[in-house]
Amino acid sequence: MEMLNTHVVIAGGGPAGMIAGLLLARAGIDVIVLEKHKDFLRDFRGDTIHPSTLELMVELGLIARFLARPHTEVREITVEVGKEVFPVGDFTHLPTQCKFMALMPQWDFLDFISKEARKLPNFLLMMEAEATDLLAKRGRIAGLIAKTPEGLYEIRSRLVIGADGRHSTIRAKSNLKSKEIGAPFDVLWLRLPFVQGDPVEPVARFQGGDFFIMLYRGDYWQCAFVIPKGAFNMMKAEGLTGFRARLRTVAGFARERVETIQSFDDVRLLTVKVDRLTRWARRGLICIGDAAHAMSPVGGVGVNLAIQDAVATANILAPVLLKHTPRLSDLNKVQKRRQWPTEITQWFQVQAQKRVLTPNMRARQTPKPPWILYALRRWPWLRRWPARFVGVGARPEHVEIR
Ligand SMILES: Cc1cc2nc3c(=O)[nH]c(=O)nc-3n(C[C@H](O)[C@H](O)[C@H](O)COP(=O)(O)OP(=O)(O)OC[C@H]3O[C@@H](n4cnc5c(N)ncnc54)[C@H](O)[C@@H]3O)c2cc1C
């Protein structure tokens, strides 16, 4: 087994892991980030780069290079309920320099962050490296084991950061306890062709008890079809014709394009879960992002929360790591700072699940638009609040170590 020594080893090269790696390495700390896949090119990643993340790019002096990459700028969010269209969020009044949400495939975002981080001599990204176990020494976590195509690595560190997402191995191995909150639905992830003349803004559509989201990705639409938990097997049993008919009712202007779905291999099932750890840390280890609190896709805010956790982790722990191994009390400060934003965001997601998604999916009917949608349509200034919740979130973090 190969041995490596570092200050911090991070399991997971998603938004939380890559941003934590970049910020800690900039602060002068030796960091190894492990990503189990061989590239970032996976379909099932949220494409939303929130205004708060763009602000982070401003603070790091990276914004010009970042925005030079192909992206779409969204200044307003709308929701379609049946035949009615409601503007619900207005980003143009946010207290950030970029007053828009950028839509960029997440692999481009992660590729950008990895290229910036690799410029730092003390940053190492190991692709195709899967964290499989933790190393313990005298009652504290002292590193981890990574599996790579070349063999096993034993990586010893002052701190392990679990940023390996909602099916976290690090969380499972750490024995940290979680509180299950649950989500009554799953998401089917599929592509429909883009046709010249289509709008490019994201679409969120409620129709006949179904909920459908379309994200513009240059030459195609990335679509999320929200289904009751466990319903995919029933849909597969109904056959492709029945499935296409369901899609046709919610696909709006793209309804004729559902014929491009040739088999169920073109459709990916993403299981949704909502939970959070009661304690995010034990000696030598901390979990952040979805590994600490799996987020529902509702509101498209999970990436933002994961990145904000990473910023808080670097702000709080970098000065300590430069001097010595962090104590449990240092690690607990990260949870203390990020727990409240996590709880409030999950509370909103669960309310939307309970009050909007579940009853309408059960009743199989287009919901009657609630009064709040009419209020948002009538008074434009009200739309600043949902935009702030989605775009910046509760307790935004700022880079303290440049
Ligand atoms: C269907 C669906 C749609 C969503 N859409 C959005 C959206 O549009 N906008 C939004 O903001 N949020 C969205 N979310 C939530 C969002 O995806 C998560 O909250 C966010 O990705 C969390 O980031 P993370 O870095 O903590 O974890 P992840 O993004 O899950 O990244 C974890 C990384 O760790 C790697 N990994 C896993 N295990 C190991 C291991 N053992 N060793 C090494 N590497 C490992 C994975 O390959 C991955 O790259 C969605 C969630 C779902 C389920």
Question: In the structure, which protein residues have their CB atom closer than 6 angstroms to any atom of ligand 1?
Answer: 11-17, 34-37, 46, 48, 130-131, 163-166, 169, 187, 270, 272, 289-291, 295, 297, 300-304, 306
Closest to 378 (Cα-Cα) out of 81, 87, 79: 87
- Say yes or no to pLDDT of 367 above 80: no
pTM: 0.94
Q: How far is the CA of 276 from the centre of ligand 1 (A)?
A: 14
| Higher per-residue pLDDT: 8 or 41 | 8
Contacts of 283 (CB under 8 A, 6+ apart): 139, 140, 141, 327, 328, 331
Q: pLDDT tens digit string along 293-329?
A: 999 988 888 999 999 999 999 999 999 999 999 999 9
The pLDDT value given to residue 370: 86
Report the percentage of the chain scoring pLDDT > 90.
75
Evaluated on CA atoms 224, 352, 313, 146, the torsion sign reads negative
Average pLDDT over residues 276-288: 98
- Say yes or no to pLDDT of 337 above 70: yes
352-381 burial string, b = 16+ CB within 10 Å, else e?
ebeeebbebbeeeebbebeeebeebbeeee
Confidence of residue 230 (pLDDT cuts 50, 70, 90): confident
Which amino acid does the sequence have at 48? T
- Say yes or no to pLDDT of 81 above 90: no
The pLDDT value given to residue 300: 83
Q: pLDDT tens digit string along 232-263?
A: 999 999 999 999 999 998 998 999 999 999 99
- Say yes or no to pLDDT of 44 above 70: no
Q: Encoding tokens for residue 316?
A: 């709080």
Confidence of residue 19 (pLDDT cuts 50, 70, 90): very high
- From the alpha carbon of 288, which atom of ligand 1 is closest? 26
Average pLDDT over residues 200-212: 84
The pLDDT value given to residue 228: 87
Q: How far is the CA of 400 from the centre of ligand 1 (A)?
A: 25
Nearest CA to ligand 1 atom 50: 297
- From the alpha carbon of 163, which atom of ligand 1 is closest? 26
Confidence of residue 401 (pLDDT cuts 50, 70, 90): confident
- Say yes or no to pLDDT of 68 above 70: yes
The pLDDT value given to residue 253: 92
Q: pLDDT tens digit string along 134-180?
A: 999 999 999 999 999 999 999 999 999 999 999 999 999 999 999 99
Closest to 247 (Cα-Cα) out of 238, 236, 255: 255
Q: Cβ-count burial of 17 within 10 angstroms (0-12 exposed, 13-18 middle, 19+ buried)?
A: buried
- From the alpha carbon of 50, which atom of ligand 1 is closest? 11
> Using CA atoms, how far apart are residues 110 and 330, in angstroms rounded to an integer?
28
The pLDDT value given to residue 218: 80
Average pLDDT over residues 187-213: 88
Average pLDDT over residues 79-96: 91
Closest to 367 (Cα-Cα) out of 208, 186, 203, 184: 208
The pLDDT value given to residue 43: 61
